[in-house]
Chains A and B, each alone.
Chain A
Amino acid sequence: MFLHPRYAWIRQLAAFAVLLAVWEAAGRAGLLNPLYVPNPSRIGAALVELFSDGRIWPHLDATFTAALGGLALGIVVGILLGVAAALVPLIAELLEPLMTVLNAIPRVVLAPLFVIWLGIGLASKVALSFILVAVLIFSTVFTGIRQVDRKLVERVVTLGGDRWALVRHVYLPSVAAWVLGNLKIAVGFAFTGACVGEFVAATRGLGYLLSFAQSTYNAALMFALILLILVVVLLIFGVAGRLEKYLLRWN
């Protein structure tokens, strides 16, 4: 019964608990250097401390604002540019090479440049999240619209639909499907942008805290922050997944 696929989560949880226990025991036995690998109990204590004294909230606020701001802007601008490029060849001619280059390079290298241009405040983090998301969404929308099912276009045309009807009933729903299909990746990119931006230069945010923990050799805080970022992103993944499931229920 224990090996039934239905109870896979129990097995996974048990394996994780065993791993933590072994890790904790090895730490207490002095087999692990706490400077590099702190005990799980110390990581847990660091996490509890972050929340109990309330100093985590301004940092969470900063990272969330930057990531969600960049995500929203990136989705809107990515869709607008993608639709424009797919429908107007001149725009495609101008944008496609730029987007191809931006897609090819690791876009986080732009972080120092954004700090010079926009300062160490929120704007440079939003900008980095935005550029990561916008390029992804542009490519998705641009490729998607060009591959839209011709039969659906012809169906709407033969029923008497005009250009606006095509945009409203064929292109936009197709775009929504592609964007929602990439929403989880976009969320990951947005948080990457925010955290990397904060890591490079900031006074607040989870990335800034990580940088602080690194400079003070506080491995327990680093592990706690990584765990926190992981939980936050997984929670947003869950919301994005539910949104995707509801809006793409026709699929």
Chain B
Amino acid sequence: MRVRDLTISYGDEPVLEGVNLTVEEGRFVSLVGPSGSGKSSLLRAVIGLQQPLSGTVETNLARSELGLLFQDDALLPWKTARDNVALGLTFNGTERKKALAEAEAWLERLGLAGFGDRFPRHLSGGQRKRVALAQVLAMKPRLILMDEPFASLDAIVRARVVKDVVALVERERISVLLVTHDLEEALSLSDEVYLLSQGPRAHVIEQYNVPIPRPRDPVQSRMHPAFAPLYERLWADLSREVDHRAEAA
């Protein structure tokens, strides 16, 4: 998936301007940047929820091969966990009975066996996140766009969900474009990290390659010798950008 010269505007001044970014097949890419740099808008443009002012999103993927994981789980509250997971499958023309069986299998794979009949309100935050993940994975996506999907989880649940996600995307060779505020999370999970400047007119100011080998353990990868220097560099670049904009203002 290639984003070329993408500009997004909600009013007179563009939020994002001339953004270029590539997600190769099977790669985990993160997008970090200050608040208001248009990270979420970029994801929305990629999946078609946001019309860009100019620029293109090039991809050889079908619409159904793109998955989106929101910060909020956005599960339909009146549907059970199983029905929520089966929803996208039925949209794709899968027979309902088969869709429900597949949904159940995905719930089991994500450690939610026996929870299929529960409504989202009766699940914990971590369980809801897993249901949302199962909903996306059941569609067999080749690229998942993640908009701070782990932000609402507490530390322990977050670590467990993140570990499962990494294992799954590595095993299924799924590409990921993750938007996050968390620099450590970005570096520990990604093959590449893009740093956006402060908005408005945010653009990519730096790209970092993360040479930590796969398969990865998101916790252990923070102990890798390449992690600390990259983290320091990324942090310094981000701080410089924020300070620079503050001075300009």
Contact = CB atoms under 8 A, between A and B. Distances in A.
Interface in B83-104: 87-88, 91-92
A143 B157 CA distance: 37
Contacts of B121: 250-251
A250 B139 contact: no
B151 interface: no
Interface of B: 47, 49, 63-64, 66-68, 70, 72, 74-79, 87-88, 91-92, 119-121, 135, 139
A165 B92 CA distance: 12
Given A157-B49, A159-B135, A249 B119 contact: yes
A177 B139 CA distance: 29
Nearest to A176: B78
A84 interface: no
A251 B77 contact: yes
Contact of A160 (B70, B75, B92, B119): B92
A198 to B, nearest CB: 38
Contacts of A156: 76, 87
Contacts of B92: 160
Interface string A147-171: 0010110111111111001000110
Contact of B77 (A161, A165, A250): A250
Nearest to B64: A160
Nearest to A151: B74
Contacts of B77: 250-251
A155 B91 contact: no
11 contacts: A149-B74, A151-B70, A152-B74, A154-B74, A156-B87, A160-B64, A162-B91, A169-B79, A177-B78, A249-B119, A250-B77
Nearest to B69: A158
A119 interface: no
B78 to A, nearest CB: 4
B47 A158 contact: yes
A173 interface: yes
Interface of A: 149, 151-152, 154-162, 165, 169-170, 173, 176-177, 249-251
> Chain B CB within 10 Å — which of A154, A159, A162, A170 has the most?
A159
Q: Which 7 A-B pairs have the closest CB atoms?
A: A159-B88, A250-B119, A160-B91, A155-B74, A151-B74, A173-B78, A158-B68
A173 B76 contact: yes
A154 B49 contact: yes
A149 B120 CA distance: 15
Contacts of A152: 74, 76
A103 B49 CA distance: 37
Contacts of A170: 76
B87 A250 contact: no
A188 B170 CA distance: 59
B135 A250 contact: no
A161 B91 contact: yes
A251 B121 CA distance: 7
Contacts of B120: 250
A155 B75 CA distance: 8
Nearest to A149: B74
Contacts of B67: 158
A166 B92 CA distance: 14
Contacts of B49: 154, 157-158
Nearest to B93: A160
B124 to A, nearest CB: 16
A236 B201 CA distance: 60
Contacts of A155: 70, 74-76
A48 B76 CA distance: 51
Contact of B87 (A151, A169, A251): A169
Given A158-B47, A161-B87, 5 more contacts: A151-B72, A169-B76, A170-B76, A250-B120, A250-B121
Nearest to B135: A159
Contacts of B76: 152, 155-156, 169-170, 173
A165 B70 contact: no
